[in-house]
Amino acid sequence: MTDFISRFFPAPDGPQLHARDYGPASGGEGRLPLVCLPGLSRNARDFHRFALFVSKDPVSPRRVVALDYRGRGLSAYDDDPANYNLSIECRDVIAVCQALGIARGLFVGTSRGGLILHVMAAVQPDLVAGAVLNDIGPEIEAEGLKEIRDYLAARSRPASFEAAADALERIHGPTFPALTRADWLDMADAIYAQRDDGRIVADHDPKLADQLQAIDFSKPLPTLWPQFGLLAQRPLLVVRGEHSRLFSAQTLARMAAHGPNVKTVTAEGQGHAPLLHLSGLFAQVKAFVDRL
């Protein structure tokens, strides 16, 4: 594809990392790049349509970089599953930004990506000029996390991408009434990959699910409110899916109360995590980004 360049970089401890670089043909000079960070088991393909809309905008195009964390997409799997953690993944994001010459940028963090941005606000605050947190905050709901745990543990093996789209719609359709058949097919293409032997599998290291299996849900989940306080010192747009079960409306309201830097929007007809390229939501995200 000519819409982006695949770039590969060594992580600080060795594994090869991959990122898609959507550079505008012209007109993006002087605008901060936008770095997109996906969810726990997701990859750069999640942002493809969003990245195209931003990088090819006829009025205000800008460079977009979308990452595959280690163990996802085209990045190498880690021999030690314990390294699939926020601290190391944040370090990887910083290393990729340094390799691409990004000393300061805007960020979009979906779910896990937003948690990484909380860590980054503590360890590399100057890198983040502003951010969009997509259906995530410093406090998450246990029931929503259990659903993700059980979904990943199932390790589905659909017979085709069409069958994968059917399964995704069957499982997630009740919380995503806004999606069309084309959206479900796009989601299947982003989540699954076809291996050389013809198998269609989720495009991540299956050992990612081990972390979730180890969580003791009888105890309160840890929160990141101090880190959010640091992140809220710069412009933030917090998106919540109307039907999200991971990110509550109460947490959204508490985040908004941190001050005028924090703006919020609800993605109507969507759950966890919203597709940012859908027209009504995209216009609001783009307007926020264009102000920075």
- Collect all residues with Cβ–Cβ distance below 8 Å to 80 and sequence separation of at least 6: none
Greatest CA separation for the chain:
53
Tokens 């830097």: give the residue. Answer: 261
pLDDT score, position 1: 55
The gap between the terminal CA atoms of the chain, to the nearest Å, is 29
Query: Half-sphere exposure of residue 223, counting CA atoms within 13 Å on the CB side?
Result: 13
pLDDT score, position 2: 76
Taken in order of first residue, the domains within the chain and their CATH numbers are 5-141+224-290 (3.40.50.1820)
pLDDT score, position 30: 87
pLDDT score, position 209: 87
pLDDT score, position 24: 82
Those residues of the chain that have pLDDT short of 50 are none
Separation of alpha carbons 191 and 196, rounded Å:
17
pTM: 0.97
